[in-house]
Structure formats: structure tokens, C-alpha cells
Amino acid sequence: MAKLKGKTVLVTGGGSGIGAACAKALLDEGANVAIAGRDQKKLDELAKSLGNVLAVSCDVSDKTQVKNLIDTVTKKLGPIDILVNNAGTNLKERTFRELTPESWDRLIRTNLDGAFYTIHAVFPSMLARQDGLIINIVSIAGKRASPLGGVAYAASKFGQAALGIGLAAEERASGIRVCNIYPGEVDTPILVFRPKPISEDHRAKILRPEDVADAVRFVATLPPHVSIPELVIKPTAQEYI
């Protein structure tokens, strides 16, 4: 049974990796799905392969583009019921010694400001309807500030985590639910930003985008009286201490 029939879903960073897998999983549940990202060509190719998906180009670090995105999705698909905040990036030069104010700003604008802009844009409609679900794809780096993700990435993800937790606490009586999902290592295109390429053996042991999408599907299909504030999902072989 399609548990999300009639629901409108927006997935940012939806052109590949976790975002693309989430779009497919939620589409399979009957949702009306929109995907957003910087590369319109990539979005269009995915929309064509999935069928019946709205593709809208948007740089989430630009609040004007985000407003236009929400307006477009709402006009074409209806008010957004579920927001999957998945857009994110990282750097190869990720140690503190290598960071510059410009690279710091780029990460914070995309990973943290982008999450705020999208939530801020969908929030009024959710509040008016006393209903809505916001799923933030954070990272274990938002729980454990290790050198693996880098200082700036961890700072942006700790901020995104706090944004979700704080909003959930404020709006617990309004019908708006917020879930932070913290994936460990995932085999996605963002791996190209690793300082050193990972081996095929290592790649075989980490999460697939579909694993995270299944977690998103689980959260998204729960009834309105159930809320999961935080969910950590990681490869069995990855340390979590």
C-alpha cells in the first residue's frame, strides 16, 4: 500500500546519491516528489528515469533561489508535506591548517544556511496546516567531530543538528515533526572530496544510498503521532564511540 499517496515531498540535493535514492523510495510510496539541486541536467536525467518527478534547479545557499524553489513546488504540486534536507558538500582541503575563510563560508552556507533557508521557506505553510515533517540528513560528523569529515564540515553538521533538535522542541505541540538522520560513511559522489581516494574494499563495506533512503522512508511513513528526533545509521564496520 502506498503510504504517502497525496503527500508532496521535496528532496534537496536530489540529483544523485542519497537524494536520488530518497526520491525513488518516497515516489514508490505514492508521494508527489520534487527534487532540487544545482545541476539541472542531472536533475532532468533522474526525473526522466524515475518518471513523474518535478526537477527544479536551486542553489540552497542562495535564499532567493530557495524561496523561488518552494514557490514553484507549491504551485505545481501543492503545499510541501515532507522536506528532506539533503543538500551538502565537503572539501578535499579539510584540516584546520588548510581551511580558508572562503572555504569555511562555502561549507557553512551550503550545509547549515541552506538547511535553514529551506526550513524557513516551508515552515509557514506547515504551521498554518499544523502538519509537516522535516527530515535533515546530517552526518555522524554532527555527533562526532573527527578528522574524517574535517573541522568545517563537522561544525556545519553540528549546527544543522542543533537546528533540527531545537526546532523539534519548539514545535512539539504544533504538529510539525523534525527528524535528524546521522549517516556514517556512504558510497556517494561526495567521496570525490576525500583527501585520499578510498579503496574498493573499503567502499564495499560502507552504506549504500538506498540504506539511508530506507531510513528516510521509515520515518516518513510513520503516523503523525509518532516522532523520531534522531536516528544514527552506519556501516557495521565503522567505529562509533
**In terms of C-beta density within 10 A (0-12 exposed, 13-18 middle, 19 or more buried), how is residue 175 classed?**
middle
Local structure of 61: helix, strand or coil: coil
**Whole-angstrom distance, CA of residue 42 vs CA of residue 127:** 33
Residue 57 has pLDDT above 80, yes or no: yes
pLDDT of residue 167: 98
Positive or negative torsion for Cα 211, 216, 222, 227? positive
State the amino acid at position 20 in one-letter form: A
240 assigned to active site: no
Q: Are 169 and 189 in contact (CB under 8 A)?
A: no
For residue 51, the number of C-alpha atoms closer than 13 Å in the C-beta half-sphere is 2
| Structural domains present in the chain | 8-233 (3.40.50.720)
DSSP secondary structure string, 169-191? HHTTTTTEEEEEEEE-SB-SGGG
- Helical packing angle, 17-28 and 40-50, nearest 10°: 30
Residue 199 has pLDDT above 90, yes or no: no
pLDDT of residue 80: 98
Average pLDDT over residues 167-187: 96
CA angle at 93 for the pair 87 and 97, rounded to the nearest 5°: 125
The grid coordinates listed for 92 are 578535499
pLDDT of residue 3: 96
Residue 182 has pLDDT above 90, yes or no: yes
- pLDDT, tens digit (0-9, with 9 covering 90-100), for 112-133: 999 999 999 999 999 999 999 9
Which stretches within the chain are classed as H helix? Answer: 17-28, 40-50, 63-77, 101-108, 114-129, 151-170, 200-205, 209-220
**Whole-angstrom distance, CA of residue 107 vs CA of residue 170:** 26
Residue 1 has pLDDT above 80, yes or no: no
The grid coordinates listed for 74 are 507549491
**Whole-angstrom distance, CA of residue 32 vs CA of residue 23:** 10
- pLDDT, tens digit (0-9, with 9 covering 90-100), for 72-85: 999 999 999 999 99
Beta-carbon neighbour count of residue 98 at 10 Å? 14
Average pLDDT over residues 153-172: 97
Give 85's strand partners.
136
Q: Per-residue confidence at 198, pLDDT binned at 50, 70, 90?
A: confident
pTM of the predicted protein model: 0.95
pLDDT of residue 237: 93
Q: pLDDT averaged over the chain?
A: 95
Q: Which of 117, 153, 182, 240 is catalytic?
A: 153
Percent residues over pLDDT 70 in the chain: 100
